[in-house]
Amino acid sequence: MNATLRHVRYVATENPVTLGAFLLFSFFVLLALLGPWIAPYDALASNTEAALKPPSAAHWFGTDSLGRDILSRIVVAARLDFGIAVSAVAASFAIGSALGALAGFFGGWADRIIGRVADTIMAFPLFVLAMGIVAALGNTVANIVLATAIINLPFYIRVARAEVNVRRNAGYVEAARLAGNSDLRVLALHVFPNVLPPMMVQISLNMGWAILNAAGLSFIGLGVRPPQAEWGIMVAEGATYIISGEWWVALFPGAVLMLAVFTFNLLGDGLRDIMDPRMRT
């Protein structure tokens, strides 16, 4: 434990960027958790007299076409976007890694079927498949989560399968088997926990991508509907005004979105450094 902490401290000081990423990540988490309570205005309250006002002391990020405070909407949107990303990635991870582990451990027809499923998903350009799923199932947040989870499945299936495959014949697995544990128990209690660390890196990187995906879907009108506050849909709402000079309506949500994704990517890189500096690309 001490060695881990020392190593973490080494990476943090060696790599101020990773430290920064971690701080930013904590900031966003706080924002997501406390959102509605710390926002200065009601994110849904429209006030047409104050429409399209540039950033000022009263409205730090300005107001949108319905007079809503952009800063408040961004803060509240953090909760929605993070919520989508976390649920989608969690579902994807849980199901995908379970399937992948089964495929890697047992091989045979389980491997073939699960491989087929993953290949079929991967046969689509992923965003297009997400579009198709949300368009078919209906314009709701739940469907965005479902679609994002589905398109991320092959990723976790593949990583879990590879990692489990590598460890399948390791000494401690043999020992567990000989001790009388059933295959499933061996897989769940002995192999799987060792597969987790490399997957942490992927999860972090995936979170960033899940947010981008959700924002992209909302941008083209799928999933989140007005008047809900979500970063992607806010950029879409602001797009029409950017040409006429009201840049703040689209810029602030977009910049925050970018920052959030960047944070997850940096975090993923930093985690990779902690796990195994040799894996640095």
| Cα four-point dihedral sign 70, 71, 73, 74 | positive
**CB neighbour list of residue 153: distance below 8 Å, 6 or more residues apart:** 92, 95, 96, 99, 117, 118, 121
| Angle subtended at Cα 92 by Cα 91 and Cα 96, rounded to the nearest 5 degrees | 120
Smaller CB separation from another protein, 193 or 245: 245
Closest CB 97 distance from another protein, rounded Å: 20
Which residue in the set 10, 29, 258, 276 belongs to the binding site for another protein (CB under 8 A)?
Answer: 258
In the block, tokens 């009201």 appear at: 246
By beta-carbon proximity to another protein, the closer residue of 104 and 238 is 238
The DSSP code for 278 is: G
Establish if 104 lies at the interface with another protein (CB under 8 A): no
Asked if residue 103 binds another protein (CB under 8 A), the reply is no
Rounded to a whole number of angstroms, the distance between the first and last alpha carbons of the chain is: 27
The least CB distance from residue 239 to another protein, in Å, is 6
Asked if 222 interacts with another protein (CB under 8 A), we say yes
Residue 135 or 200: the one with the smaller Cβ distance to another protein is: 135
Question: Does 191 contact another protein by CB under 8 A?
Answer: no
CA distance 226 to 221: 9
Q: Provide the token pair at 200.
A: 């942490």
Residue 263 C-beta: closest distance to another protein, Å? 8
Closest CA to 110 of 173, 177, 160: 160
Binder of another protein out of 112, 189, 239, 276 (CB under 8 A) = 239
Phi, psi of 69 (to 5 degrees): -70, 120
When binding is defined by CB under 8 A, the residue of 129, 188, 200, 275 that contacts another protein is 129
Which is nearest to 192 in space by CA: 98, 79, 83? 98
> Using only C-alpha atoms, what is the Rg of the chain?
22
Q: Does 266 bind another protein (CB under 8 A)?
A: yes
154 forms part of the interface with another protein (CB under 8 A): no
Does the footprint of another protein cover residue 23 (CB under 8 A)?
A: no
Distance CA 21, CA 15 (A): 10
Among the listed ranges 60-68, 94-102, 170-178, 217-225, the one in contact with another protein (CB under 8 A) is 217-225
- Please give the residue ranges that form the binding site for another protein (CB under 8 A): 116, 119-120, 122-129, 131-133, 135-138, 208-209, 212, 215-216, 219-222, 232, 235-236, 239, 242-243, 245, 247, 250-251, 254, 257-258, 261-262, 265-266, 269, 281
